[in-house]
Chains A and B, each alone.
Chain A
Amino acid sequence: MMLEVNAERYLVINNRQIEHEGIFIGQELFHEINHALEHRGYEIFEKKSEDRVTEEGMDVYVELRPYKEKTAYVSLMIKVKISFKNMTNIVKEINGLPKNYQQGSVLVVLDGWFFTEWEQRWGMKPVVWFLKSVINKLVYIFPQEESYRNELVEDAAYLTNRIKKLFRSYREPETALPHEEDVRVSVEEEIKKGSEKGFDEDAVYLDIKKNKP
C-alpha cells in the first residue's frame, strides 16, 4: 500500500458533491459505492466512522479512501466522504409491502488524488524530489502519467453516475427525471410518426412550401 506521507500529491478532483434529501437506504448506498469501486479495480479502506445521536436523529459520517496502485510509482485514490444528517428509520409501504428506509439528508463528497512515489523511497531525498517535481510540472509529463490522471477522472465520473442513479431511484415517479432509454425510445417513436406522415407536414415549419416555385 502506498503511504500518503512521502508521496507527491496532485488533487485532480476537488470536492465534487452529490446531495440527496428524503428517503434512502444507507446500506444500499454503501453497497453501490463498494460495487462501483471494485468494478474499477480499487481496494477499499475505511478511514473514519463517526456517529452522533441527537434529538432530531442520527448524524453519521463515514470516510473511505479507496486506492488503486497502477505501478510501483503511481497510485490513484478517490476520497469518499459520506455524511448523513438527522437520519431516522422509517417504514414505507411499496406495492403493499412494508420496507425499511432511512430518512434525512445525504451528502457524498468525492476528492480524486494522484500519488507518485517510488516504493516509499522517492521522497526521502529532497534534491530528487525537487527535480522530479520541477520536470513534471514545467518540462514534460510522461504520457503514461497523463493517462493515469484521465483514468482517475473517469473512475470518479463513473462513481458519481452510479450514486446519482441510485438517488434518482428513491424519488417519487412523478418528480423523478426520465431515464435515458425512455427518452431515446420516445424520440425514436416521434421520428417514426413524422416519417409516416410524410415531410410535407414538416415542411410548413421549415417554410419549404413558401419557397417552392
Chain B
Amino acid sequence: MSEKFLVIDHLKISYTGLFNAAELYNLISSWFFGKGWDWHEKVNMERITPDGKQIHQIFWPWKSVSNFYKIIMHIRVNMIDVKDVEVEKDGKKIRVNQGEVHITIDGYVLADRNDYWTDKPFTWWFTVMAQKYFFKSHYQKIETWIKGDVEDLNSRIKRYLNMFRYSYQA
C-alpha cells in the first residue's frame, strides 16, 4: 500500500460577495490542465433551494512527477446561497452570482505510486530506509513542488475574486 504524506493541511479560502460560479470552476480546471495535471472530478452537486443554489464540488487532481512519487490535491468547493444578480459596470449590465464561496485545499505526496515496493515487508522496509537516509532530498523536492503549486492556485483564486491578498514575501 502506497504511503501518503500530508503536506498542505486544509488551506481555506472564504469569500462573500459577487463572483461568477462558472468562471471560477473554469479557472480552477484550466489551471490544472495548464500545469499538466490529470483532472479527476469526484463530486459535482447542485441543489436549488429557496435561498439560492447550493453547489458542492470535490476535485481530486493528481500528477505523476517521477517513477516513484505522485502529487495529489484534494479541493472542496462549497458555494452557498448563490443567486443570480445583475450589476452595472461602465454603463453595461453584467449578470453575476452573489453568495458565499468556501474552498478547502489539501496537498499530498504519494510515495510508491505503482504499489510495487510496499507489497512485501522486506521491500517496504528497504523503501522506508532509502527514503529516510538516501533519498530525503528527492522527497523534499517533491514537497516543495506541491507547496509551490498550491500557493500558485491559491493566489490565482484570490486574484480572480479580488480578495485582499496575504503574500509571503519577507
A64 touches B166 (CB 8 A): yes
A20-58: contact bitstring with B at CB < 8 Å (1 yes, 0 no)? 000000110011001101100000111111111100001
Q: Report the separation of the CA atoms of residues A46 and B7 in the bound assembly, to the nearest whole angstrom.
A: 12
Given contacts A1-B7, A47-B10, A47-B11, contact A60 B164 (CB under 8 A): yes
- Does B18 belong to the interface (CB within 8 Å)? yes
Q: Give the CA-CA distance A37 to B13 in the complex, in Å.
A: 22
Say yes or no: is B161 at the interface (Cβ < 8 Å to chain A).
Answer: yes
Q: Residue B17 at the A interface, CB < 8 A?
A: yes
Report B-chain residues with C-beta under 8 Å of the C-beta of A35.
Answer: 170
Determine if B16 and A38 form an interchain contact, defined as CB atoms under 8 angstroms apart.
Answer: no
Residues of B near A78 (CB, < 8 A) are none
In chain A, positions 73-100 with a C-beta closer than 8 Å to chain B are 82, 84, 87
Q: Does A153 contact B (CB under 8 A)?
A: no
B131-170 interface (Cβ within 8 A of A): 154, 158, 161, 163-170
In the complex, which residue of chain A has the Cβ closest to the Cβ of B17? A53
**A3 CB–B CB distance under 8 Å:** yes
Q: A76: shortest Cβ distance to chain B, in Å? A: 17
Chain B residues positioned under 8 Å from A52 (CB to CB): 14-17
B contact set with A: CB distance below 8 Å: 6-18, 154, 158, 161, 163-170
Q: Which residues of A line the B interface, CB within 8 A?
A: 1, 3-4, 26-27, 30-31, 34-35, 37-38, 44-53, 58, 60-62, 64, 82, 84, 87
